[in-house]
Amino acid sequence: DQQVKQNSPSLSVQEGRISILNCDYTNSMFDYFLWYKKYPAEGPTFLISISSIKDKNEDGRFTVFLNKSAKHLSLHIVPSQPGDSAVYFCAASDTNAGKSTFGDGTTLTVKP
């Protein structure tokens, strides 16, 4: 039973356009959500997060939206840059249990 799902294994966008990465979850105990970015041969790096009490969090070109009723979150990158090309993991945390569960990842390719 996969509790965090990223249904799109890959996404390709043109430089300057918006990238939208999606993530769905099933466990209603999750109360904190994060996006990590991973380049080849490196560990994941934290990108942006959102608490379940919010529906939007913005940090520069990155915005995360949370729809609790739909158990869905998305990461918007605008404008997209070639350096954004990486694997993006969605993660959901049950802060009481202290565990993060990761999605399968979406490979984003931003074309110049």
Partner 1 sequence: DTEVTQTPKHLVMGMTNKKSLKCEQHMGHRAMYWYKQKAKKPPELMFVYSYEKLSINESVPSRFSPECPNSSLLNLHLHALQPEDSALYLCASSQVSFDKNTGELFFGEGSRLTVL
CA pair distance 5, 47, nearest whole angstrom: 18
Is residue 70 involved in binding partner 1 (CB under 8 A)? no
Contact between 31 and 95 (Cβ < 8 Å): yes
Binding track, positions 48-67, relative to partner 1; x by CB under 8 A: -x-x----------------
With CA atoms as reference, report the closest residue to 74 among 27, 16, 29, 11: 11
Q: Which is nearer to partner 1, 17 or 56 (CB)?
A: 56
* CB nearer partner 1, residue 80 or residue 106: 106
The answer to the question of residue 27 lying near partner 1 (CB under 8 A) is no
